[in-house]
Structure 1
Amino acid sequence: MDTTTTQSAEKRRVLTGITTTGTPHLGNYVGAIRPAIEASRDANNESFYFLADLHALIKCHEPQRVQESRREIAATWLALGLDTDNAVFYRQSDVPEITELTWLLTCVCAKGLMNRAHAYKAAVQENEADSSADPDKGITMGLFSYPILMAADILMFNATDVPVGRDQIQHIEMARDVAQRFNHIYQGQFFKLPEARIEESVAVLNGLDGRKMSKSYNNTIPLFEPEKKLLKLIRKIKTNSLEPGEPKETEGCTLFQIWQAFADEGQVADMRLRYENGIGWGEMKNELFELVNSQIQAPRARYVELMNDMGYVEEVMKKGAEKARDHASPLMAQLRKAVGFGAFV
């Protein structure tokens, strides 16, 4: 049977969401935003990008923080050149069909499947390690069942490709499981089975302290910091005590890792040689600042303009929601009919 989406057989439908709980940083840019924007320019792809603000409520109960993050992330994607004529760019909370689908999927999803979710298991193990009498202490139903919301994000648009890190593969497998179960129970091919797209070439950046750059570790370098603040943060990146003139290893060096994410092949080869020749850490940090700043200078200026023109950004998001709902509404109508809903006449 036909599904709702008017998707050509040749095109792959790519979907990416970013949770609205923090300010976009360099790691977000090279790991998710930059490759997503590049993918949106591929004529063989249909691209869906969304602000995952419903997911934000799972771990953040600070309305002001969520709202500011939504603004910053929307402005960031637009400033970096996302073509909203070719890509569907929307806020998750603007598409009520997603929450309705979440409930339909919840009603066919086995609890045992959710029991195996990594985030839930980790929270239970943490409680048990603290000798809590209640292994579910502090665990909300949002945390427990958020893989179902993620499945609805994907299946609502019948995405074929979902770029994720290896730690997120389980969620794609769960989405496939739930889709197959719904298709089986209601005897139709309503959902395509999504595939995890693991981008081995996409960089994962370390932060100021050498751990993975993450707002959880408070070690990030915000993408659009003013020049002076950007330089100050880069100078704070942790290094070893080797002096200028002493050969240095590129492997495991945060400075070189970030350099590699922004530089071309020739610049990377040149910097490897300079490491062998003992470039000083201060010089390297200054060089890194110049490289990064040269690439984000123009988008930063555009970002500032957009943050001061939220009326324009809001109009873009509203149009994106309309496009998203144009895809979602027909499928939702089919699903309602499939489960026994709809008008009596």
Structure 2
Amino acid sequence: MLRRGLRINHFSRRFSSTVKEIDYKLNGQDIPDDATVFSMVQPTGKFHLGNYLGATRAWKDLCDLKKDNQRLVFGVADLHAITIPKQDVTEFRLFREEALASILSMGVDPEKAIVMHQSHIPQHSQLHWILSTFTSMGYLNRMTQWKSKSNIHKNNVSEADLGSVKLGLFSYPVLQAADILLYKSTHVPVGDDQTQHLELTRSLALLFNRTYKTNYFPVPVTTLTPTKKILSLNNPEKKMSKSDPNQQGVIYVNDEPEQITVKINKALTDNISDRFYYDNENRPGVSNLINIVSGIQRKEIPEIEKDISNINNYRDFKKYVSEIIIEELRTPRKNFKRLMKEPDYLKSIVDSGNRRARAIAEKNINDIMKIMGLN
């Protein structure tokens, strides 16, 4: 089994054609007519601007463009969330509800897309175990996410460092591969920080097919939007994150206009106040704000630079950014507030999505077990 797992690396050079960068807005030609699109988000509570621009807005685009033979599966990745232990169960339940409300508030149509809770589809865990028998420890050791979540910031990990890491966190990418392959997904819209995990997913799909002389698993395509990573308003050296101790650096979908204005006014910038342009190395704070506007307006960075070329002071620049964010989040904010007052409706949506997802997952896991001689 170890020899089989070690062969995963040999596939990495094949993946250049399986990462597709799309325009700021999806169009009908980006996704084939018979595609299965899969993506999930962790239940960290209400969504922030990075979640919105990096993932869930594309889900709405996909719903708007959906064709009869396409399948859309979106979910709340609550099994992934427990790789960092959740001690407050009441808070965790609230986070799952808020994540579901956030997904729907963006305009994801539950009639066109399956919206489910990962933990309610047991086949995710079942395929995770199967795929773990193909995956080498060496390959997982090179993954970056478990290191960052364990506060390990070095390439050469000692036995002591590794000894403190929980198995679930270490094998997180294998569960992510199982999530995707369980539905025979062909396209996965993610941010660029997830491309390493998608490479493992493709490796495992190819390795399974080669081992059992089948073409059962498609090799999923990573679809990336040009929107760069949204960074903290107060520390543009790190991602915008709900766990940021300084919440003034995070803009949430349900923030009131006054809150957004205050946060943007306090955003870290620099001493150049008479002109505004994108320079991520020398002007990270200003560049982050320009990137946010670029993502919202679905325009290239040079277009935004042209739009703001007549602005020559920070008051007007930050007012410009604030107004664009406030207007963009107006409808999602209103929808989120309404949905959080309708728990029975949210439950009905996710219960229906769970049933639809389980039907697909049960058939596919039976097919996989039959191929392997387990059924």
TM above 0.5, one fold? Answer: yes
Aligned to 1:101: 127
Distance in 1 (alpha carbons) for counterparts of 2:335 and 2:126: 36
1:178, CA displacement in angstroms?
A: 2.0
Give the conservation status (yes or no) of the 8 Å contact 1:247–1:275: yes
Using the TM superposition, give the Cα deviation of residue 177 of structure 1 relative to its aligned residue in structure 2, in angstroms: 2.1
1:303 aligns with: 336
**2: distance between equivalents of 1:84 and 1:273?**
37
**CA displacement 1:226-274 (0-9 Å, x = unmatched):** 222222222221122345xx233344413333222223769x9587454
Say whether the 8 Å CA contact 1:124–1:136 is kept in structure 2: no
Match of 2:137 among 88, 99, 111: 111
1:261 maps to 295
1:224, 1:300 within 8 Å by CA — same for their partners in 2?
A: yes
User: Which of 40, 46, 56 is matched with 2:71 structurally?
Assistant: 46
Asked if the contact 1:51–1:70 (Cα under 8 Å) also holds between the matched residues in 2, the reply is: yes
Q: How many Å separate the matches in 2 of 1:189 and 1:265?
A: 39
- State the match for 1:215 in structure 2: 242
The one-letter amino acid paired with 2:161 is P
For 1:24 and 1:227, the matched residues in 2 are separated by: 16
What residue identity is the alignment partner of 1:90? M
Alignment of 1:62-81 (within 5 A): 62=87, 63-81=89-107
The 1:112–1:336 alpha-carbon spacing in structure 2 relative to 1, beyond 3 Å, is same
- Is 1:240 matched with 2:270? yes
Q: Which residue of 2 is the match for residue 338 of structure 1?
A: 371
CA deviation map 1:93-135 (0-9, x unaligned): 1111111111121223333332332334667893879997713
Q: How does 1:110-149 map to 2 (within 5 A)?
A: 110-120=136-146, 126=152, 134-149=160-175
Task: Tell me, yes or no, if structure 1 residue 25 matches structure 2 residue 45.
Answer: no
* DSSP-derived class of the 2:98 partner: helix
- With 330-339 and 53-62 compared, the bigger mean Cα shift is at 330-339
Q: Secondary structure at the match of 1:41?
A: helix
CA contact (8 A) 1:90 1:318 kept: yes
1:205 aligns to 2:233 (yes or no): no
Q: Does 1:173 align with 2:199?
A: yes
**Inter-CA distance 61–187: structure 2 relative to 1 (3 Å threshold):** same
Distance 1:59 1:248 in 2: 40
| 2:111 pairs with 1:85 | yes
Q: How far apart are the structure 2 equivalents of 1:131 and 1:332?
A: 35
What amino acid does structure 1 have at the position aligned with 2:269? T
After TM superposition, the structure 1 stretch with the greater mean CA deviation from structure 2, 149-158 or 127-136, is 127-136
SS in structure 2 at match of 1:58: coil
Query: More deviation in 313-322 or 23-32?
Result: 23-32
Which moved further from structure 2: 175-184 or 125-134? 125-134
Q: Report the residue type matching 1:322 in the other structure.
A: R
Q: How high is the TM-score relative to the length of structure 1?
A: 0.84
Given the alignment of the two structures, is residue 12 of structure 1 paired with residue 35 of structure 2, yes or no?
yes
- Determine the C-alpha separation between the residues in 1 that align with 2:338 and 2:369: 43
Aligned-partner SS, 1:15: strand
Compute the displacement of 1:20 (Å). 1.5
CA distances 1:189-245 after superposition (whole Å, capped 9, x unpaired): 33222122233x2343222122332235443211111222222222221122345xx
Q: 1:121 to 1:76 in 2, by over 3 A?
A: closer
Once superposed, what is the RMSD of the aligned Cα atoms? Answer: 3.0
> What is the correspondence of 1:255-294 to structure 2 with a 5 Å cutoff?
255-263=289-297, 272=306, 274-278=308-312, 280-294=313-327
Specify the code of the residue in structure 2 equivalent to 1:293: I
Q: Which structure's CA Rg is the greater one?
A: 1
Q: Distance in 2 between matches of 1:167 and 1:247?
A: 31
- Structure 1 gap ranges (5+): 1-8
How far apart, CA to CA, are the structure 2 residues paired with 1:128 and 1:288?
Answer: 37
Per the alignment, residue 5 of structure 1 pairs with: none
- The alpha-carbon distance between structure 1 residues 325 and 272, as it changes in their structure 2 partners (threshold 3 A), is same
Which 5+ residue runs of structure 2 have no aligned equivalent?
Answer: 1-31, 281-285
Provide closer, same or farther for how the CA distance between residues 339 and 27 of structure 1 changes in structure 2, counting only shifts above 3 A: same
